[in-house]
Homo-oligomer: A and B are copies of this chain.
Amino acid sequence: MGIPALIAPGQRLLCGPGPSNIEPGVQAVMQQPVLGHMDPDLFPILDEITSMLAEAWGQTDGLTLALQATGTAGMEAGIESLTEPGDTAVVAVAGYFGARIVDICNRHGANVVEVTAPFGQPVSQSAIADAIEASGGAQIVAVVLAETSTGVRQPIDELGEIAHHHGALLLVDCVTALGGIPVDFTRHGIDYAFSCSQKCLGAPPGLAPAALSTRALERIDGRRAPAGFTFDFRLLEQYWHARPPTYHHTAPVLHLYAFHEALRQLHAEGPEQRYTRHADVGTHFQEGLRRRGFALLAEAAHQLPQLTAVCVPDGVDGKDVQVGLLRKHGIEVGGGLGPTFPAMWRVGLMGTNATRETADRVLSAFAAELDA
Residues of A within 8 A of B (CB): 1, 3-4, 6-12, 14, 16, 18-19, 21-22, 27-42, 45, 48, 51-52, 55, 68-73, 76, 80, 100, 103-104, 107-108, 196, 198, 204-206, 225-230, 247-255, 257, 260-261, 264, 267-268, 326, 332, 334, 337
Which chain B residues border A253 with CB–CB below 8 Å?
A: 19, 204-205
Which chain B residues border A9 with CB–CB below 8 Å?
A: 32-35, 41-42, 45, 257
Which chain B residues border A204 with CB–CB below 8 Å?
A: 34, 252-254
Name the residue on B nearest A48 (C-beta).
B4
Give chain A's interface secondary structure class. Answer: loop
Name the residue on B nearest A96 (C-beta).
B247
Taking a contact as CB atoms under 8 Å apart, the answer to whether B206 and A52 are in contact is no
Name the residue on B nearest A40 (C-beta).
B326
Taking a contact as CB atoms under 8 Å apart, the answer to whether A229 and B76 are in contact is yes
Q: Besides the contacts A4-B48, A27-B254, A30-B254, what 19 more A-B pairs have beta carbons closer than 8 Å?
A: A1-B267, A4-B52, A9-B45, A10-B35, A10-B41, A14-B34, A14-B36, A19-B36, A19-B250, A30-B30, A68-B68, A68-B69, A73-B249, A76-B229, A76-B230, A204-B252, A204-B254, A205-B251, A254-B254
Name the residue on B nearest A260 (C-beta).
B7
Which chain B residues border A228 with CB–CB below 8 Å?
A: 76, 80, 104, 107-108, 228
- How many Å from the CB of A70 to the closest CB on chain B? 4
Number of copies: 2
25 sample A-B contacts, Cβ–Cβ < 8 Å, listed by A number: A1-B51, A1-B52, A3-B268, A7-B257, A7-B260, A9-B34, A12-B36, A14-B34, A16-B38, A19-B253, A27-B254, A34-B204, A38-B334, A68-B69, A68-B70, A70-B230, A70-B252, A73-B230, A76-B229, A100-B229, A107-B225, A107-B226, A107-B228, A206-B252, A255-B255
Which chain B residues border A31 with CB–CB below 8 Å?
A: 27-28, 30-31
Taking a contact as CB atoms under 8 Å apart, the answer to whether B37 and A12 are in contact is no
Residue from the list B16, B39, B198 in contact with A332, Cβ < 8 A: B39
Which chain B residues border A10 with CB–CB below 8 Å?
A: 33, 35, 41
Taking a contact as CB atoms under 8 Å apart, the answer to whether B69 and A198 are in contact is no
Which chain B residues border A29 with CB–CB below 8 Å?
A: 6-7
